[in-house]
């Protein structure tokens, strides 16, 4: 029997030993076809040229959290894995992390959001608080909120745009154009996502151009093509490779799809069941009942105008004699016009990029798939305001999750064009909208 016990002991001991051994080792391996590589691209010095999307603008403001997850910053971190260099950005300091200020979601009652401004603290002229803290050392994230292709060539815009002004030395303000600013940086690779505001500025003002405000103009199609070509020529002057992005359909963002005529009518009927239609003033000046094809701007929900009676007792938006004014509405004819411009710009962008052998990140296609709804790593992402997860609280700019998803569109395009294997980004690590925990 002694022998039996020993035998049992041996078996038991070896089982325990085997279990511990296997718990510690024998991990399954997943073989990668090839090591990560930059392919034919050189990511030694990457610069990102663009507008608010490139800068990390989110929730209606430029602030540190958004800057850190701007898609170029996410891309640069992945490029570093395949030999890319450092990437610098004009971050606000931790002490000035609120930057220009932004909005946060402070309550959600029966699906109705309360958006509360968070005051900016990124000023250099406290207590006036109109001028942003300067950042004039060399940077690679060159995104400037509000930048347009046409105004890239206007030196005066550097004085008018506070986000551009903060990046310039005093002597350059008002004299240096964005086109000049981005040059001479000895970059080896670039991304260019510009042109959105050439049509969005117009659309965001309800397709009403204010003569004194060039940011509300619609850039002429031929002008766009010519200036964009100049831009690409400058960025590829040293034979650099890069990626350009198409412009999303501006009507694919929550800004134009949240406050719909149907939503307004339902709200009106809850108070007055006799309400029959929502009335709008079109861009052409006529007044008619709104249809689902007419898009109303997101800020209308907080404008405190809807259903207010005027002096004659006609309720705003509910009576043809007191319609929603044209600046709040992108009516269906204006939608057609805006879409036509986007298509024209994109056609120019793709033609120019193709002629230069550049990668094309087709964000136009991607945003349309987001509008329809997609599942990424178990996360359902769509273009719904707040719940969709991709768009921040301004309904136009991206959440960290949206930035990660779009960064992967760029990475896929870069990898496909240059035979690179820049690793994609784990989208699950990035948040959507923050919901109040009270």
Partner 1 sequence: MKKLLLSALLSVPLWVFGQGFQVNLQGQKQIGMAGAGSALALDEASVFFNPGAVSFLEKNSISAGVNPLLFKSAFKQTGSNITENVKNKIAPPFEAYAVWGPKSNKWKLGLGVYTPFGGLVDWGNEWSGRYALTSLNLKAIYFQPTLSVKITDHIGIGAGFVYNHGEVNLQRALPVNFPDGRSGHATLEGTGSGYGWNAGLYVKTQSNITFAVVHKSKVVTKLNDGTATFDVPESLRTSFPAGNTFNAELPLPSTTTLGVGVPLSKSTTLAFDASWVKWRIYEELAFDYATNTSALADTKSARNYRDGSSFKLGINHQASEKLALRAGVGYAFSPVQDGFVTPEAPDADRYILSAGVGYAPTSHFEVNASFFFEDVKSRQQKNIETGLDGTFKTLVYAPGLSLTYKW
Selected range binding partner 1 among 42-50, 86-94, 169-177, 408-416, rule: CB under 8 A: 408-416
User: What is the distance between the alpha carbons of residues 48 and 77, in angstroms, rounded to a whole number?
Assistant: 13
Does 270 help bind partner 1 (rule: CB under 8 A)? no
User: What is the distance between the alpha carbons of residues 47 and 354, in angstroms, rounded to a whole number?
Assistant: 20
Does 77 help bind partner 1 (rule: CB under 8 A)? no
Selected range binding partner 1 among 162-170, 192-200, 318-326, 368-376, rule: CB under 8 A: 368-376
Selected range binding partner 1 among 119-127, 314-322, 363-371, 421-429, rule: CB under 8 A: 421-429
By rule CB under 8 A, what string of x and - marks binding of each residue 298-337 to partner 1?
Answer: ----------------------------------------
Checking DSSP bridges between strand 279-281 and strand 287-289, what pairing results, if any? antiparallel
User: What is the distance between the alpha carbons of residues 430 and 389, in angstroms, rounded to a whole number?
Assistant: 10
Does 108 help bind partner 1 (rule: CB under 8 A)? yes
Specify the residue, 1 or 312, whose C-beta has the smaller distance to partner 1: 1
Between the CA of residue 372 and those of 200, 213, 248, 366, 375, what are the distances in Å? Answer: 21, 34, 14, 10, 11
Does 32 help bind partner 1 (rule: CB under 8 A)? yes
Does 31 help bind partner 1 (rule: CB under 8 A)? yes
User: What is the distance between the alpha carbons of residues 247 and 118, in angstroms, rounded to a whole number?
Assistant: 30
CB-based burial, 329-354: b 16+ in 10 Å, e otherwise: bbbbebbebbeebbebbbebbbebbe
Neighbouring CB atoms inside 10 A of 90's CB total 24
Among 4, 94, 138, 170, binds partner 1 (CB under 8 A): 4
Of 32, 78, 67, the residue nearest 412 (C-alpha): 78
Across the strands, what pairs with 105?
A: 115
Residues 400/431, Cβ–Cβ less than 8 Å: yes
Specify the residue, 6 or 40, whose C-beta has the smaller distance to partner 1: 6
Specify the residue, 124 or 431, whose C-beta has the smaller distance to partner 1: 431
The footprint of partner 1 on residues 233-262 (CB under 8 A) is none
Specify the residue, 171 or 438, whose C-beta has the smaller distance to partner 1: 438
Residues 256/329, Cβ–Cβ less than 8 Å: no
Selected range binding partner 1 among 101-109, 124-132, 329-337, 360-368, rule: CB under 8 A: 101-109
**Two tokens, residue 56:** 């990390």
User: What is the distance between the alpha carbons of residues 37 and 297, in angstroms, rounded to a whole number?
Assistant: 45
Selected range binding partner 1 among 15-23, 37-45, 186-194, 320-328, rule: CB under 8 A: 15-23
Specify the residue, 297 or 401, whose C-beta has the smaller distance to partner 1: 401
Specify the residue, 11 or 263, whose C-beta has the smaller distance to partner 1: 11
Residues 284/248, Cβ–Cβ less than 8 Å: no
Q: State the minimum distance, in angstroms, from the CB of residue 387 to partner 1.
A: 8
Q: State the minimum distance, in angstroms, from the CB of residue 18 to partner 1.
A: 5
Tokens 């619609």 sit on residue? 218
Among 60, 120, 143, 389, binds partner 1 (CB under 8 A): 389
Task: Give 221: exposed, middle or buried? Use CB within 10 Å, 0-12, 13-18, 19+.
Answer: middle
Total residues contacting partner 1 by CB under 8 A comes to 55
Interacting residue ranges for partner 1, rule: CB under 8 A: 1, 3-4, 7-8, 11-12, 15, 18-19, 22-23, 26-32, 36, 81, 105, 107-108, 110-111, 374-380, 387, 389, 401, 408, 411-412, 415, 421, 423-424, 426-429, 431-438
């Amino acid at each position: 029997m002694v022998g039996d016990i020993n035998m049992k002991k041996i078996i038991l001991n070896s089982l325990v030993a085997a279990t511990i051994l296997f718990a510690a080792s024998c991990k399954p391996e997943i073989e990668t076809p090839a090591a990560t590589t930059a392919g034919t691209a050189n990511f030694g010095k990457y610069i990102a040229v663009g507008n608010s999307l490139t800068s990390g603008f989110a929730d209606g403001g430029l602030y540190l959290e958004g800057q850190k997850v701007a898609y170029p910053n996410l891309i640069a971190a992945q490029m570093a894995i395949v030999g890319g260099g450092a990437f610098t950005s004009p971050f606000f300091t931790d002490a000035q992390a609120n930057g220009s200020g932004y909005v946060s979601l402070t309550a959600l009652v029966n699906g109705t959001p309360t958006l509360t401004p968070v005051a900016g603290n990124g000023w250099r002229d406290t207590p006036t608080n109109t001028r942003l803290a300067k950042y004039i050392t060399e940077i690679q994230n060159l995104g400037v909120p509000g930048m347009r292709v046409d105004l890239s060539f206007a030196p005066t815009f550097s004085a008018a745009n506070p986000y551009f002004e903060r990046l310039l030395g005093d002597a350059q303000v008002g004299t240096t154009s964005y086109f000049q600013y981005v040059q001479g940086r000895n970059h080896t690779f670039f991304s260019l996502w510009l042109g959105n505001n050439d049509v969005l500025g117009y659309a965001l003002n309800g397709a009403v151009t204010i003569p004194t405000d060039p940011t509300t103009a619609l850039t002429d199609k031929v002008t766009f093509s010519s200036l964009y070509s100049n831009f690409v020529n400058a960025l590829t002057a040293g034979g650099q490779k890069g990626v350009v992005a198409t412009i999303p359909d501006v009507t694919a963002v929550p800004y134009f799809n949240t406050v719909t005529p149907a939503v307004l009518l339902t709200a009106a009927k809850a108070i007055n069941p006799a309400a029959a239609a929502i009335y709008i003033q079109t861009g052409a000046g006529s007044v008619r009942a709104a249809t689902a094809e007419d898009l109303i701007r997101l800020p209308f929900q907080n404008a405190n105008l809807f259903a207010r009676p005027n002096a004659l007792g006609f309720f705003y938006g509910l009576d043809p004699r007191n319609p929603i004014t044209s600046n709040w509405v992108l009516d269906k004819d204006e939608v057609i016009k805006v879409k036509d411009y986007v298509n024209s710009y994109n056609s120019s962008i793709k033609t120019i990029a193709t002629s230069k052998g550049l990668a094309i990140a087709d964000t136009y296609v991607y945003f349309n798939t987001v509008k329809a709804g997609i599942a990424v790593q178990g996360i359902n992402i769509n273009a719904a305001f707040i719940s969709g997860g991709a768009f921040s609280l301004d309904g136009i700019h991206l959440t960290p999750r949206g930035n990660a998803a779009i960064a992967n569109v760029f990475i896929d395009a870069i990898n496909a064009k240059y035979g690179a294997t820049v690793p994609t980004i784990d989208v699950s690590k990035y948040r959507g909208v923050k919901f109040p925990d009270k």
